[in-house]
Structure 1
């Protein structure tokens, strides 16, 4: 680190997390309630909290920080609530409705449901304007651009108060001149409007995906621009010597201008940093196959890292909108600490996806919430301390938690409050396990080959139960777990993605020459951009990928390769990588079939110096940290058992304890089921492993006999 501090900020639906690292290896975590309607207020509140607890003013931190990094849910919230900018679309005549036709697609599970409502259109029909122009699939112009129609569209947009415009023409990736000319006209007639050009934002084959991506970007751009401007101005006032960096959905950092122009990259920026943080935490053990689960107050996010590389998705439907740009695969469920328990029409208990959020929050917060939530269940089961969360700054009322569970669930079902609470705990765990299966089993990975990494303030209470259900025998939970994504931000690199269409068969010298030229051109741009950001050549690295398929297939899969000169000989190396990836995804390959490329992409990273790792002093034995015992429920019979409670701030490196037990950290609580052993590592990471008794009993047996 060049300066004294590094600050990471991760804004979630319920809490906003702050990680403050100093050059001496000190790392501290702070949490404040999020302010969804006024995002910058939570940052101000968090810096004020840091000043109160450390005596270091916001001005001193920011003016002496080499990096201040912000992961934001502003774009995500705007998309969820449909509160983005008023947007207009300029498209090829006859293709105005492609975003509504959606290739005839219906979400899985609703394909044959005639009552399933259509997706809400981000651009209503009257703001989608078709323009006479046509480019063919070979890049030739069949119909010239009708500039008068573009001008008429602009006049209509002005009258309607449109804030943002997306332009997307058919085959514009092979002939972008029509889009560029239309953009010139829009800038001339609507100088204050935000403008998204499809062939520049997402220069890839597939017209619907490109148009939808451009529309989402245009819809969010004014929102992100205002947010970035407010954050940048606030940090400048505090004396920042370096521009604020923003975390992107592709797992890297970018400047505010990039985020404003390419707002679609900021949609899922918060949880996208989890894989980087997980790899850093797991480095002392050499673990590179990691499933990271992050349970906060509102949602449960899952990411998977295989062989040190995070799963990256392209061309996905996110909140019912097709997005083409690469995004770290994050499986998000409505299964947070605020998830509400309810009874369906069949009389069965359900959990979520509705959430109490931070306002009013769970019943135990005492802020007016009346519905029972996951947090209320964990408090009733004894896992959480009624003295409160976040170091006691958020006291919990166990009587209100029990009353909510009794009124809404236990009495209607005719069971005890304890059994109802354990039922809530079990159901929300099952929901989370199903999500873990979607990012692992359904993508060809065996979860038993992975380490489970806990992140988020609420995860610790569920982590061993999730591991037991998935057959995972090793769990890692950092002392920074509740702010792991914020920590991931301060150790991440700057990352930009550069794309190009490349419809060609992998055969012959000409194909090799074209691929080599495309990659070199993209990477030359990337190096120039990163050097403009202040990076030296030695700090820059490159990853390549190709969207490939067998000739005749409809869909392609993404294959990653390392940079090398593409020659006719090395084409075989690329084909072999494709066959292997196809078999990994679909259990078979067809090496006798011809292979073709659709798109290529280069990911350019600017490496940032990492802060020093946390180091914990040796412990004096777990007994020194024993705070006492508390009645807790560990199985479905609802019977409470006196269980030891340990103070995490007293535990030291090498201290070991056995479940059942609870470890209380300032910002998280770890519930250790019977049959598990815990050791605190010197890096501040709890290592939880399956502990067999003398008879070799597995956790299931130990749990049954506890």
Structure 2
């Protein structure tokens, strides 16, 4: 792309300074660290009022001694500066990605430390003595002390909570293959659960900068309740990525918004109840939504307001369908083999039309869709990831040497869990290995079952890699040699899992016998309206219907049946023997 706008370097050229030292790829010292030169460089940073320093030395993943000594010198000469070592932040090979990750960590560290410190002080001033945690991109949570040292792990962690909640819901209902769809006000976040576990990203970026940390693979698209509908220069209807946000928000909020949004379209088509949005906390202005869609979309296209609103929803749905296909079809997965778990404030309104398009047989709407991401934050384990690079063919690797690396990583993991004040019995350590065919430029991560004590254990890793390659790409080259690249250990301090079956049954008198007309598939349908709080476990509903609750609304299409399971989920399937 000749017109690609590359991100500006995070560190100006005149602040990228070198020191004399050199290690080889085995970690052997070729040139000792020149400490006199190091002190001179530190003084330059001090004179330039640098407040955060990233230390990235060649091959430090194989031997961190030079970087650690540099940190000691910085702490002695310039104690007020924050320091990020690449051998601590991202101790694996590939120099550019390791450096980029460390620089991003250094860039956000001052702001993150300040924010966490202020938050802690505010909580203590209000008498809150609970331990405080923050979410990480890997799907686990971290103590504030750990997050202060490695804030890069917190970036892009917001949407991850919903995936963790989705995984727990899938576990409790016995589902091993699922797609999580979190549609909120600004975006729609799609993730995949394969064999019950979130699929992790091999590589990720933050604002265009490579970040090489374990993270849940998310496809985020600009399709949310606040996504703005507009016409391009050719008269084509577009939705997003611009969003009205919460302020001013959709036109129907009555807060000064003038651009029609997905929420306005849901209101105009009858999907939303103007009198029951957030249980009536906000009265939606249906007339204003009609006027905005008519003026900005319908009249320029020469169609009715209702048709324009339906078109807005269709375009938003198409964007989300593409996002799901990217995570499934383009990776060799068939969405028909998955269950869709839809949440977020807007997700349940759109879920069934996505499932219908993709022929997904079962859709689950959690008990509290609008709070599902928050539930995931509470359910997340404390998690820390450790890695070491060891590049060699499995057939040439020495089992005892490989086991020694795993043992070293596990010792570091146990020490961190102890620093988190977790009892030893609460920690669970899992081993993984990044593998590739000899000559490949990318790796696949496979789990390692048990200790590495023999060549048979290494041969089993090769078999697991062939299967992982076949699952990911549809083929495996079982005759080709397999190369080990990185060894990994994930340490989890397991959180207490609540029993979500403890569901109070509302009194029947809370149910409201009501109907309203909803525009679905280019025609009006009379829908029964239910209050979700009044639906006991075992209740069965037939579409077309609307299920309203405080933080979300669920649209049940014609020909679909929903049943409330013991956890309180709405489990929705196509009616049996239906020709639709």
Q: Choose the corresponding residue for 1:501, options 365, 389, 398.
A: 389
Structure 1 residue ranges, 4+ long, deviating more than 4 angstroms after superposition:
617-621
CA pair 191-524 structure 1, distance change in 2 beyond 3 A:
same
Look up the match of 1:514. 401
The yes-or-no answer on 1:671 pairing with 2:560 is: no
**Shift in Å, 1:546:** 1.0
**Residue 377 of structure 1 contacts residue 424 of structure 1 at CA under 8 Å; is this kept in 2?**
yes
Look up the match of 1:686. 570
**Residue 264 of structure 2 contacts residue 289 of structure 2 at CA under 8 Å; is this kept in 1?**
yes
Q: Choose the corresponding residue for 1:613, options 500, 503, 507.
A: 500
Q: Secondary structure at the match of 1:462?
A: helix
In 1, the alpha carbon distance for the partners of 2:120 and 2:434 equals: 37
Look up the match of 1:440. 328
CA pair 130-293 structure 1, distance change in 2 beyond 3 A:
same
Unmatched segments (≥5 aa) in structure 2: none
In 1, the alpha carbon distance for the partners of 2:416 and 2:272 equals: 49
Look up the match of 1:586. 473
**Shift in Å, 1:599:** 0.8
Q: Secondary structure at the match of 1:173?
A: coil
Q: Secondary structure at the match of 2:53?
A: strand
Look up the match of 1:176. 64
Look up the match of 1:572. 459
The yes-or-no answer on 1:330 pairing with 2:218 is: yes
Look up the match of 1:468. 356
Residues 298-317 of structure 1 aligned to structure 2 (within 5 Å): 298-317=186-205
The yes-or-no answer on 1:404 pairing with 2:288 is: no
In 2, the alpha carbon distance for the partners of 1:272 and 1:402 equals: 35
In 2, the alpha carbon distance for the partners of 1:345 and 1:144 equals: 62
**Shift in Å, 1:536:** 2.8
**Residue 109 of structure 2 contacts residue 151 of structure 2 at CA under 8 Å; is this kept in 1?**
yes
Q: Secondary structure at the match of 1:584?
A: helix
Q: Choose the corresponding residue for 1:655, options 524, 529, 539.
A: 539
CA pair 507-116 structure 1, distance change in 2 beyond 3 A:
same
Q: Secondary structure at the match of 2:533?
A: coil
**Shift in Å, 1:139:** 2.2
The yes-or-no answer on 1:296 pairing with 2:184 is: yes
CA offsets 1:516-535 (integer angstroms, 9 cap, x no match): 11111111221232133333
In 2, the alpha carbon distance for the partners of 1:583 and 1:563 equals: 23
CA offsets 1:56-91 (integer angstroms, 9 cap, x no match): xxxxxxxxxxxxxxxxxxxxxxxxxxxxxxxxxxxx
**Residue 344 of structure 2 contacts residue 369 of structure 2 at CA under 8 Å; is this kept in 1?**
yes
In 2, the alpha carbon distance for the partners of 1:609 and 1:284 equals: 14
Q: Secondary structure at the match of 1:396?
A: coil
The yes-or-no answer on 1:630 pairing with 2:512 is: no
In 2, the alpha carbon distance for the partners of 1:405 and 1:189 equals: 63
**Residue 453 of structure 1 contacts residue 476 of structure 1 at CA under 8 Å; is this kept in 2?**
yes
Look up the match of 1:603. 490
Q: Secondary structure at the match of 1:205?
A: coil
CA pair 317-268 structure 1, distance change in 2 beyond 3 A:
closer
**Shift in Å, 1:617:** 4.7
CA offsets 1:564-609 (integer angstroms, 9 cap, x no match): 3342221111111111111212222222222111111100111222
CA pair 394-165 structure 1, distance change in 2 beyond 3 A:
farther
Residues 69-148 of structure 1 aligned to structure 2 (within 5 Å): 113-148=1-36
Look up the match of 2:450. 563
**Residue 171 of structure 2 contacts residue 196 of structure 2 at CA under 8 Å; is this kept in 1?**
no
**Residue 282 of structure 1 contacts residue 476 of structure 1 at CA under 8 Å; is this kept in 2?**
no
In 2, the alpha carbon distance for the partners of 1:207 and 1:147 equals: 23
In 1, the alpha carbon distance for the partners of 2:280 and 2:37 equals: 63
Look up the match of 2:528. 644
In 2, the alpha carbon distance for the partners of 1:484 and 1:334 equals: 20
In 1, the alpha carbon distance for the partners of 2:9 and 2:501 equals: 47
**Shift in Å, 1:152:** 4.0
**Shift in Å, 1:134:** 2.6
Residues 94-493 of structure 1 aligned to structure 2 (within 5 Å): 113-493=1-381
Q: Choose the corresponding residue for 2:579, options 697, 700, 703.
A: 697
CA offsets 1:224-277 (integer angstroms, 9 cap, x no match): 111211222222233333321111111112110111111111112222222331
- Which range moved further: 603-612 or 321-330? 603-612
In 2, the alpha carbon distance for the partners of 1:153 and 1:531 equals: 36
Unmatched segments (≥5 aa) in structure 1: 1-112, 699-706
The yes-or-no answer on 1:545 pairing with 2:545 is: no
In 2, the alpha carbon distance for the partners of 1:624 and 1:195 equals: 58
**Shift in Å, 1:218:** 1.0
- Which range moved further: 255-264 or 679-688? 679-688
**Residue 173 of structure 1 contacts residue 205 of structure 1 at CA under 8 Å; is this kept in 2?**
yes
**CA RMSD of the aligned region, Å?**
2.0
**Shift in Å, 1:217:** 0.9
- Which range moved further: 376-385 or 311-320? 311-320
CA offsets 1:87-133 (integer angstroms, 9 cap, x no match): xxxxxxxxxxxxxxxxxxxxxxxxxx211211232223232223333
**Shift in Å, 1:221:** 1.0
- Which range moved further: 254-263 or 318-327? 318-327
In 2, the alpha carbon distance for the partners of 1:491 and 1:182 equals: 39
**Residue 452 of structure 2 contacts residue 458 of structure 2 at CA under 8 Å; is this kept in 1?**
no
- Which range moved further: 308-317 or 126-135? 126-135
In 2, the alpha carbon distance for the partners of 1:442 and 1:531 equals: 42
In 2, the alpha carbon distance for the partners of 1:533 and 1:541 equals: 14
In 2, the alpha carbon distance for the partners of 1:220 and 1:475 equals: 39
Q: Secondary structure at the match of 1:554?
A: coil
**Residue 618 of structure 1 contacts residue 654 of structure 1 at CA under 8 Å; is this kept in 2?**
no
In 2, the alpha carbon distance for the partners of 1:412 and 1:304 equals: 39
Q: Secondary structure at the match of 2:390?
A: strand
**Residue 216 of structure 1 contacts residue 264 of structure 1 at CA under 8 Å; is this kept in 2?**
yes
CA offsets 1:275-334 (integer angstroms, 9 cap, x no match): 331232234431121111001111111111111111111332343111111001111111
- TM-score, normalised to structure 2, is 0.95
In 2, the alpha carbon distance for the partners of 1:399 and 1:417 equals: 11
